[in-house]
Amino acid sequence: MLNDTRVIPARLSGRRARQGAAGQTEARIEVTLLEPRADGTWAAMVKPLKKLRVGETVRFGAGLEARCTAKAEGLAALRFNLAGAEFDAALDAAGAMPLPPYIAARRAADAQDREDYQTVFARHAGAVAAPTASLHFDRPLLDALAGQGVDFTHVTLHVGAGTFLPVKVEDVRQHRMHAEWGEVSAAAAAEIAATRAAGGRVIPVGTTALRLIETAARGGAIAPWRGRHRHLHLSRFPLSRDRRADDQFPPAALDPDDAGRGIDGARTHPADLRPCGGLGIPLLLLWRRIAVDPRLKRCQGGADGRFRVAFGADAAPAVGQ
């Protein structure tokens, strides 16, 4: 299962002019577009938001400008002066790729990122972050998998900027995520159902595809689904044992959806893990290293910042940093 969303150049840098008692002043405004709204505006993260008032206009260049129509919940609503193909062309000229913080902290986005920060099967524009697990796959690898009898199904989840936001609350169930738009088409749902009925394995590539089909299967079976959903995959404690996916590539560190998976493919539910103090959130840190040992059965994190792994059915946990 592949997420075929395409990242848009959603990061804009502009200037806001304001006339005051001391004359005209300007401020640099950084904008990251999130998604278009039904009223024709765009939801956006703005830095610094306090320097942009409702009614003021930000000019970005390439003939593109936007007026702030509202501010709420840390976001701004922006109404652009262009629409349709004209807006797309101006955004392409003025915008930059919204690289994740761990890349953007090292360098600015460049022209090459417009190709590199996309999957080879990206086709539906709308994401502000790439489904990064899918970046492992190039065309030769996909062809090689197809040659081994692997079938592919495409779904679409436009990854939102909420994927960049840190968790600042003690109870992760209180963390508020931005909503994301997704679609599981009727054809995709039928292919997934047919694969499971035939005894095949359904393997989502990354958490974006995984949480989308889990949303589409909330009725108990996979079904076509389309819409916006504020899906927080860290909020479901304990995790459901009734899963619609058989595996996931790759296991994502710090993601409870992947925690407790043994190398033999067996599933260890978080409730079955031995407590080690603290929040007891299962982890798969450094999974590429520890996965080479076939004896690995369990892994769990503690409040002291150390993780514990158990080898074999009755082995005492080994402790590592």
User: Model confidence over 109-143: pLDDT tens digits?
Assistant: 888 999 999 999 999 999 999 998 899 899 999 99
Quote the pLDDT of residue 226: 93
Domain count, the chain: 2
147 belongs to a structural domain: no
Residue with tokens 């995709």: 188
Q: Is residue 43 part of a domain?
A: yes
User: What's the CATH code of the domain at 72?
Assistant: 2.40.10.240
CA distance 192 to 152: 10
Residue 277 is given by DSSP the state: S
The percent of residues in the chain predicted with pLDDT above 90, rounded, is 47
Instruction: Give the residue among 66, 26, 16 at the shortest CA–CA distance from 44.
Output: 66
- Quick one: pLDDT at residue 312? 47
Establish if 225 belongs to a structural domain.
no
The answer to whether residue 302 sits within a structural domain is yes
91 in any annotated domain: yes
Full residue range of the structural domain in which residue 306 is found? 251-321
Query: 106 vs 33, 59, 109, 125, 320, CA distance in Å?
Result: 22, 27, 10, 26, 29
Last residue of a domain, one of 106, 127, 143: 106
- Residue 22 is predicted with a pLDDT of 78
Which residue positions in the chain have pLDDT lower than 50?
Answer: 232-242, 250-321
